[in-house]
Amino acid sequence: MSCNCMTRTSQQECLGILEWQEAGLERSKRMAEEKKGFFRRLVDGLTKTRDNIVSGMDSIFNGFTHIDEDFYEELEEVLIMGDLGVQATYDILDKLREKVKTQHIKEPVECRQILIDSIKEQMDVGETAYRFENEKSVVLVIGVNGVGKTTSVGKLAGKLKDQGKKVVLAAADTFRAAAGDQLLEWANRAGVEMIGGQEGADPASIVYDAVAAAKARNADVLLCDTAGRLHNKKNLMEELKKINRILEKEYPDAYRETLVVLDATTGQNALAQARQFSEVAEITGIILTKMDGTAKGGIAVAIHSELGIPVKYIGVGETIEDLQKFDSNEFVNALFDIKDQAEQ
């Protein structure tokens, strides 16, 4: 790009524009590299799931000479055993049967791509899934102890900050010892402000203070780390109701998002947790952690299919870069190790 600059001032302005454009290109390049690196880690992380599901499917596609009821029954068993869940399995196989019939498919091996496309379709999160990123918003994050909830909140804060968003964190999980200290560590790492309180303090009062801070700082996103004591659903429900009342009164214009953090390694237990949380709160999305090294990665398909709640983020490691937006195309390509398509 060339600049016809006549004065020293306009030359400086031109240089400033060029530097700004170069910084933008550098950021885009870094994000593309980060995404490519994440895809490779996802491929590695899904190795056990791949061994659990894909190898079984491929042995059916290659082992059968024609498509019959035995073929469908074997596929059904592999998909259910791979934690895809009963509902998702039936939906996928119904679509497969329909396409085999309408497209007059005779060879079992031809069913592989249809199955891949069907799983991608099942898991598509839709275009409005990340609306909260582009509006003044409050994101409540809930989840039981040990799933990586506070860590996920910290990583999400870092990602939003990298996107140029002004973020305020609320340490409203006052039930768990050291949750506030852990979140403060992430806040410092991400370079964002955190509002907290004493252990055992009223979570709703912390959210109240955090809302005031978010409004005063003109923050784009208020991220709230809240408790997730499923063994006492009544208390949890009351706590969330109280928080919601404060948000409705003090921050009525903010877009609302409620994310549940689930540990992928727990398989069907993660689905049961998601179901229980959806009984006490209006869940808009899932953060699925510990996808690296689990044989139960198929649970991502089950949650979406059984509960109609999309997986919005997945984690495959410890760093901020290891939490990424969920992309059904990328996930299924990684699961089936289709490198070419995903890295184009």
Q: Does residue 207 contact residue 196 with C-beta atoms inside 8 Å?
A: no
Label residue 7 left, alpha or beta by phi (over 0 means left) and psi (-120 to 50 means alpha): beta
Say how many CA atoms lie within 13 Å of 312 toward its Cβ.
24
Asked if the structure places residue 169 within a domain, the reply is yes
Could you give the CA distance from residue 131 to residue 285 in angstroms, rounded to a whole number?
Answer: 12
Using alpha carbons only, give the angle 308, 279, 210 rounded to the nearest 5 degrees.
95
**pLDDT, tens digit (0-9, with 9 covering 90-100), for 87-125:** 888 988 999 999 999 999 999 999 988 988 888 887 887
Could you give the CA distance from residue 17 to residue 23 in angstroms, rounded to a whole number?
Answer: 10
Per the structure block, which two tokens stand in for 88? 């998702």
Q: Which pairing describes strands 193-195 and 255-263: parallel, antiparallel, or unpaired?
A: unpaired
Could you give the CA distance from residue 335 to residue 177 in angstroms, rounded to a whole number?
Answer: 37
**What pLDDT does residue 235 have?**
81
Asked if the structure places residue 105 within a domain, the reply is no
**What pLDDT does residue 307 have?**
87
Q: Does residue 292 contact residue 43 with C-beta atoms inside 8 Å?
A: no
Asked if the structure places residue 97 within a domain, the reply is no
> pTM value?
0.82
Question: DSSP for 69-126?
Answer: HHHHHHHHHHHHHTT--HHHHHHHHHHHHHHHHHTT---GGGHHHHHHHHHHHHH---
Quote the number of domains for the chain: 1
Q: Which residues of the chain fall below pLDDT 50?
A: 1-3, 5, 340-344
Asked if the structure places residue 143 within a domain, the reply is yes
Asked if the structure places residue 176 within a domain, the reply is yes
Q: Which pairing describes strands 137-142 and 285-289: parallel, antiparallel, or unpaired?
A: unpaired
Residue 154's CATH number: 3.40.50.300
Q: Which pairing describes strands 323-325 and 311-315: parallel, antiparallel, or unpaired?
A: antiparallel
Strands (E) located in the chain: 137-142, 167-172, 193-195, 221-226, 255-263, 285-289, 311-315, 323-325
Asked if the structure places residue 238 within a domain, the reply is yes
Asked if the structure places residue 79 within a domain, the reply is no
**What pLDDT does residue 254 have?**
94
Q: For residue 298, give its domain range.
A: 131-327
Report the interhelical angle of 111-123 vs 328-335 (nearest 10°). 140
**What pLDDT does residue 193 have?**
93
Asked if the structure places residue 107 within a domain, the reply is no
